[in-house]
Amino acid sequence: MTLQTGPIKSIPGPDSNTRTPAFKLPPLSCDTHCHIFGPGDVYPYDPKRSYTPPDAPLPAFKALHAKLGVERAVIVNASVHGTDNRVALDAIAQSNGRYRAVANIDGTIDEKGIEELHEGGFRGCRFNFVRHLGGVPDMKVFDRIVAMVTPFGWHIDLHFDAIDLPQYADMLSRLPVPYTIDHMGRVQANEGLDQLPFRTLIDLMERDEKCWVKICGAERVSTAGPPFHDAVPFARKILETAPDRVIWGTDWPHPNVKVMPNDGDLVDLIPLFAPEPELQHKVLVENPARLFDFNDA
């Protein structure tokens, strides 16, 4: 992460009036991309963070999922907490096996540290390539961490700006582990299905069985705004390409978005992405159970 030299910007919190979605999620549905922020007096924010969120702690996280009908979750430890993964570790410990997590780690971690995270319920680690979150990581560290997590069966979670995805496609296809690409590659809906970043994403899914994609972040993909229906063709194409390697998430509490979504609206996009009940079950239950080692689905 790039050292913060100026004032750290504050960002707004999520919509506090989450509506109950019309779509009823199937039992054991998993939100595979969501965050817990703070509380800052218990889990301090990293002084090198690029933004400061309002606290979005575990009780609010649980209340959101109860309203939506989500029974399982994967906590992606956000950059605001740096490499301190305690907020996710503690949440998993209280979840009765319903939570997993994706870690933020750096070159200081050793095999024992990864083993402790694995025992605590972590099943992957995340690398940000997005410019406003620090840009390209140290690739020597990246390669070393990939080698370290491979024996644990972890995947690598990757966050790109769409414009940068084509230049990393060959590197991704050479990874020795499965990898997930966040937010449909952050493509922009008004650029169409034939834009180079999206064609790159689809090509990766077609030729590399290690490539998974998260159909989350519709509010980031959309250029038309709520209810974000212009993101639907992108999610649908992703699902048609590799239905066994697609997962869904809310991205709650939606850091750094231009338009704050209502999470009820995001759930109600699911039957537009996937009208077929068997495909809904695959994306919401079966696929995340396989990738994140929920062993009773």
**Predicted confidence (pLDDT) at residue 297 exceeds the cutoff of 70:** no
Nearest Cα neighbor of 257 from 183, 206, 189, 194 is: 183
Residue 73 lies inside a defined structural domain of this protein: yes
**31, 157, 182, 251: which one is catalytic?**
251
Nearest Cα neighbor of 54 from 43, 65, 40 is: 40
Residue 20 lies inside a defined structural domain of this protein: no
Residue 131 lies inside a defined structural domain of this protein: yes
Residue 116 lies inside a defined structural domain of this protein: yes
Residue 112 lies inside a defined structural domain of this protein: yes
Residue 6 lies inside a defined structural domain of this protein: no
Domain of residue 284: give its range: 27-291
Structure-token pair, residue 254: 């939606």
Number of domains in the chain: 1
Residue 267 lies inside a defined structural domain of this protein: yes
Q: Which residues of 167-181 are buried (b: 16+ CB within 10 A; e: fewer)?
A: ebbeebeebebbbbb
> What is the pTM for the complete model shown?
0.96
Residues 267-293 have pLDDT tens digits of: 999 999 999 999 999 999 999 999 999
Residues 74-120 have pLDDT tens digits of: 999 999 999 999 999 999 999 999 999 999 999 999 999 999 999 99
Residue 9 lies inside a defined structural domain of this protein: no
E strands, 85-232, where? 99-103, 122-128, 155-159, 179-181, 211-214
* Contact predicate 56/35, CB 8 Å: yes
Give the mean pLDDT of the chain: 95
How much helix, strand and coil, in percent to the nearest 5, is found in the chain? 40, 15, 45
Catalytic: 138? no
CATH number, position 171: 3.20.20.140
